[in-house]
A and B are shown apart, each in its own frame.
Chain A
Amino acid sequence: MSKLDYLDQLENEAIHILREVAGQFEKPALLFSGGKDSICLVHLALKAFRPGKFPFPLVHVDTGHNFPEALKYRDDLVEKIGEKLIVRKVEDTVKAKKLQDAKGKFPSRNALQTYTLLEVIEEFEFDACIGGARRDEEKARAKERIFSVRDEFGQWDPKKQRPEFWNIYNGKINKGENVRIFPISNWTELDVWNYIKREKIELPSIYFTHERECVVTESGQLMANSEYLQLDASDKIITTQVRYRTVGDMTCTAAIESEAYHIDDIINEIKEAKISERGATRMDDRISEAAMEDRKKGGYF
């Protein structure tokens, strides 16, 4: 037998995990954000289950601060593959629970989306949620299992993680608990891009270079100018060629200056990049050394 390429091995592992979810759970869901990682998950699910239907719906927790390009991509994709999409809006949770909405110049609903996520899990009684998180993203993620059991409050307890051996996944849970499942745990940002290239996966246009009006933050990051920002006269606005390395909310995901037009340009850019994916683009992980660990303990992905 010829040796398997590393992308084949990563793909095989992910498909195996997705099929374990289908075999072990009553009511799984795939969390879909419109970002490249969850787009890869959908692609892998097609490979795992076609010609059958997905044994789970796609769930989008809509913060209301999405890039319009990402929403359009989402709707087009769902129509093309003919799978079920459930959308729940953070704004509705904020109203119903009388929560304090995000404030400030760049109002981030990142923390608020945990409420909506936990609500949608409860509403549909999901026992497993598949997500596109990767271990190379952040050091708390680097410690998380592929099957990560959460208690009734969605909390991750790093000290109580189940040991995980070989490719045997234990998804047995008590009522009220759920499992977060990360099929592409072992992929790096570069692996994802190489896979997208190999599989010719279509992506939202904002991953590629385009002209955009951006606000320059104090630390020099470029934030897309949108109706969600609270700007004042002193804010510096420029129009420049940018692209996005990750697709999160318009209010907390920074663009990077880039001329990368083709996927090969992007792959070269990442190989050369000196700053990590989250470091370059996320405002929310900069708060403290343990920001991600704390958010996960609170029920975040």
Chain B
Amino acid sequence: MELLRFFTAGNVDDGKSTLIGRLLFDSKSISTDIIEALTKQSKTSGIDTGIDLALLTDGLRAEREQGITIDVAYKYFTTERRKFIIADTPGHIQYTRNMFTGASNADLAIILVDARNGITDQTKRHSIISSILGIPHVLVCVNKMDLVNYSQERFDEIVNDYKEFAAPLNLKQISFIPASALAGDNVVERSEFMNWYEGETLMQFLENVKIDVVNSEGASRFQVQYVIRPQTNNLHDYRGYAGKVLSGSYKKGDRVLVLPSNIETTIEKLEKHQAEIEVANALDPVIIHLKDDVDISRGSTIVKINETPQTEREVNATLCWMDNNAFLPGQKLILQQNSFRTKAIVKDVVSKIDIHSFRQFESDGGMKLNDICKVSLKTAEPISFDAYKENRHTGSFILINENTNNTVAAGTID
């Protein structure tokens, strides 16, 4: 069985919670005691007609009190074909960082559009974030079709508007489904009122959409997480580099380069789950043994000699600033890329991206909460990387405030 991670973005008003509720209900993923608790809560919140599905996903007291989603909630359901992980993210602009959190790992974005309102600022914002994060698929779910008389004309209009808006975003794949989450049209059951639509229902789409296996293709990348040295009598000379194959594959005998020290050596042995293996594939958690005694520690990268990444002390990146405190020019930061950490400074804030138009504007050099900017960074140690669009694992990083230890920014390398 496969695993698909997707995120939904939107407000309660867009019917996002109803949609998730419908998927969970119809796949029988909600237990009776939880339904009971919800019915009780719905009544105390003054909702008499059945269950308020927003309460299902809004788990914190403040969220229930304010009737909004503040933080990401993870929900799970399984069908015969797939296990699904839903990151239910807030739609409001002030919680963009939480949306980033939920979206960064996703294979698919579901963007909800209210059929009455068409494309809004929020639709644009969520699409642009999906573009920056390189989400492989975007599904535009045109919801509340029942409120526009299931009009094909209205649906087509929204599809055209969206395509026009999204043209510069370089989204890899876009799909459209007309639906009504409340009435159940085209979510799990095919709608009786939209015979003009011949595509998949949402559930069919989720079960069939191709999951990219980008990791297995492209250059081989491995980063050391932890060095295993038992130093016991019978394993006196054992020295294994534990980590995850980020992309590509490795096999015994491969000539490799250790970065950033730039030393060539050979893979002597590969282990996984306490057994020797011949080939290590993408995402495999393995232990690599090298022929030569080389300078290598946590954060070092091992690549094949003919597939070297860039190794530099300067990188250009797109940054989303996540901290409540604005960026201070000259501020010392720590850059973390997977397990690799080095000190860094933002040398230049080149431009600011307008989150609703994708246009770049001249920067005043500052960055505030939820700003998305093009920057150039300088690092203390050289960093081995690929462009984010080539490799999501080696092209992404976070910035940490050296003083507060908070994660203050997420970055994708241009």
Q: How far is the CA of A48 from the CA of B287 in the complex (A)?
A: 9
The answer to whether B61 and A165 touch across the interface, beta carbons within 8 angstroms, is no
A197 close to B (CB within 8 Å) = no
B103 and chain A: residue at smallest CB distance: A165
Segment with Cβ contacts to B, from A4-12, A207-215, A253-261: A4-12
Chain B residues, Cβ within 8 Å of A16: 225, 244, 285
Q: Which of A6, A46, A135, A165 has the most chain B CB atoms inside 10 A of its CB? A: A165
Given contacts A52-B228, A159-B62, A293-B61, whether A170 and B407 have CB atoms under 8 Å apart is yes
A51 close to B (CB within 8 Å) = yes
B165 close to A (CB within 8 Å) = no
* Pairs A–B under 8 Å by Cβ, sample size 29: A1-B213, A1-B282, A4-B3, A6-B2, A10-B3, A12-B285, A19-B242, A19-B243, A22-B225, A50-B274, A51-B230, A51-B235, A51-B238, A52-B238, A136-B76, A142-B59, A143-B60, A158-B62, A158-B71, A161-B71, A163-B410, A164-B101, A166-B104, A167-B338, A168-B398, A170-B336, A188-B76, A276-B31, A276-B34
A125 close to B (CB within 8 Å) = no
Chain B residues, Cβ within 8 Å of A53: 230
Interfacial residues of chain B within 197-242, with CB under 8 A of chain A in the complex:
211, 213, 216, 225-226, 228-230, 235, 238, 240, 242
Main secondary structure of the interface of A (DSSP, over half): loop
- Of the candidates A159, A166, A172, A280, the one whose C-beta lies within 8 Å of that of B396 is A166
A191 close to B (CB within 8 Å) = yes
Q: How far is the CA of A165 from the CA of B228 in the complex (A)?
A: 27
Q: How far is the CA of A294 from the CA of B213 in the complex (A)?
A: 41
Number of A positions contacting B (CB below 8 A)? 61
A158 and chain B: residue at smallest CB distance: B60
B274 to chain A, nearest CB (A): 5
B337 and chain A: residue at smallest CB distance: A168
- Of the candidates B59, B230, B282, B406, the one whose C-beta lies within 8 Å of that of A52 is B230
Chain A residues, Cβ within 8 Å of B339: 20, 23
Main secondary structure of the interface of B (DSSP, over half): mixed
The answer to whether B225 and A23 touch across the interface, beta carbons within 8 angstroms, is yes
A84 close to B (CB within 8 Å) = no
Chain A residues, Cβ within 8 Å of B337: 168
A177 and chain B: residue at smallest CB distance: B405
B34 and chain A: residue at smallest CB distance: A276
The answer to whether B76 and A186 touch across the interface, beta carbons within 8 angstroms, is yes
| B interface residues (Cβ-Cβ under 8 A, vs A) | 1-3, 31-34, 37, 41, 56-62, 64, 70-76, 78, 82-83, 85, 97-98, 100-101, 104-105, 211, 213, 216, 225-226, 228-230, 235, 238, 240, 242-244, 249, 273-274, 281-285, 298, 322, 334, 336-339, 392-393, 396-398, 400, 405-407, 410
B221 to chain A, nearest CB (A): 13
Q: How far is the CA of A51 from the CA of B237 in the complex (A)?
A: 12
A273 and chain B: residue at smallest CB distance: B31
Q: What are the interface flags for A167-194 relative to B under an 8 Å C-beta threshold, 1 for contact and 0 otherwise?
A: 1101011100000000001101011000
A289 close to B (CB within 8 Å) = yes
Q: How far is the CA of A10 from the CA of B105 in the complex (A)?
A: 13
Q: How far is the CA of A1 from the CA of B283 in the complex (A)?
A: 11
Chain A residues, Cβ within 8 Å of B240: 52
Q: Which of B230, B339, B397 has the most chain A CB atoms inside 10 A of its CB? A: B339
Q: How far is the CA of A9 from the CA of B107 in the complex (A)?
A: 14
Interfacial residues of chain A within 5-32, with CB under 8 A of chain B in the complex:
5-6, 8-12, 15-16, 19-20, 22-23
Chain B residues, Cβ within 8 Å of A139: 56-59, 73
A289 to chain B, nearest CB (A): 6
A275 close to B (CB within 8 Å) = yes
The answer to whether A135 and B74 touch across the interface, beta carbons within 8 angstroms, is yes
9 closest residue pairs by CB, A with B: A139-B59, A279-B33, A1-B216, A6-B3, A276-B31, A172-B405, A19-B225, A15-B285, A52-B228
Chain B residues, Cβ within 8 Å of A274: 31-32
A3 close to B (CB within 8 Å) = yes
- Of the candidates B34, B58, B83, B213, the one whose C-beta lies within 8 Å of that of A6 is B83
